[in-house]
A and B are shown apart, each in its own frame.
Chain A
Amino acid sequence: MSDFPSVKLHVVTGKGGTGKTTVAASLALALAAGGRQVLLTEVEGRQGIAQLFDAPPLPYEERKVAVARGGGEVYALAIDPEAALLEYLEMFYNLKRAGSALKRLGAIDFATTIAPGLRDVLLTGKVMEAATRERRGGGRLYDAVVLDAPPTGRIARFLNVNSEVAGLARMGPVRQQADSVMTLLRSRKTAVHLVTVLEEMPVQETIDGVAELDRVGLPVGGVVVNMVREPLLPFDRIDDAAAGRLDRAELSRGLKSAGLESNDELVAALVGESADHAGRVQLEERERSELAELERPTYELPMLADTVDLACLYDLGDQLAAQGLV
Chain B
Amino acid sequence: MSTRPFELDALLDSASILVCCGAGGVGKTTTSAALALRAAERGRRVCVLTIDPARRLAQSMGLTELDNTPRAVAGVDVSNGGSLDAMMLDMKRTFDDIVLAHADPQRAQQILSNPFYVSLSSSFAGTQEYMAMEKLGQLKRDGTWELIVVDTPPSRSALDFLDAPQRLGRFLDGRMIRLLLAPAKAGGRGMMKVFTAGLSMFTNVLTRIIGAQALKDLSLFVTSLETMFGGFRERAEQTYRLLKEPGTAFVVVAVPERDALREAAYFVERLADEQMPLAMLALNRVHTSGAPQLSVERSLAAAEALDDSGESPLTAAVLRIHAERLKTSARDGHLAERFVAAHPGVPVVQVAAQPNDVHDLDGLRLIVDELANGPDASPPVSATRKKRAG
Contacts and interface: CB of A to CB of B under 8 A. Distances in A.
A114 B258 CA distance: 33
Contacts of B198: 101, 105
Nearest to A199: B357
Nearest to A120: B123
A167 B205 contact: no
A131 B302 CA distance: 54
A164 B214 CA distance: 13
A277 B167 CA distance: 46
A238 to B, nearest CB: 11
A153 interface: yes
A266 B291 contact: yes
Given A258-B306, A279-B356, A168 B202 contact: no
Interface residues of B, number: 82
Contacts of A251: 312, 314-315, 318
B11 to A, nearest CB: 27
Given A17-B26, A116-B125, A254-B312, A232 B118 contact: no
Interface stretch (B35-43, B67-75, B169-177): B169-177
Interface stretch (B133-141, B244-252, B321-329, B343-351): B321-329
Interface string A210-240: 0000000000000000000000111001000
Nearest to A286: B356
B289 A273 contact: yes
B386 A110 contact: no
A116 B164 CA distance: 14
Contacts of B24: 15-17, 151
A175 B177 CA distance: 23
Contact of A272 (B175, B313, B385): B385
A137 interface: no
Contact of B314 (A172, A234, A276, A277): A234
B321 A107 contact: no
Given A106-B174, A273-B322, A254 B356 contact: no
Contacts of B209: 89, 169, 172-174
A289 interface: no
A8 B315 CA distance: 50
B311 interface: yes
Nearest to B155: A16
B386 A233 contact: no
A283 B358 CA distance: 13
Interface in A140-191: 150-151, 153, 157, 164, 167-175
Interface of A: 15-18, 44-46, 89, 93, 95, 98, 101-102, 105-107, 109-111, 113-118, 150-151, 153, 157, 164, 167-175, 199-202, 204, 232-234, 237, 244, 246-247, 250-251, 253-255, 257-260, 265-266, 268-277, 279-280, 283, 305, 307
18 contacts: A101-B198, A114-B171, A116-B124, A117-B123, A118-B210, A151-B24, A153-B52, A153-B154, A167-B118, A169-B210, A170-B213, A233-B317, A244-B386, A251-B314, A266-B291, A270-B321, A272-B382, A283-B356
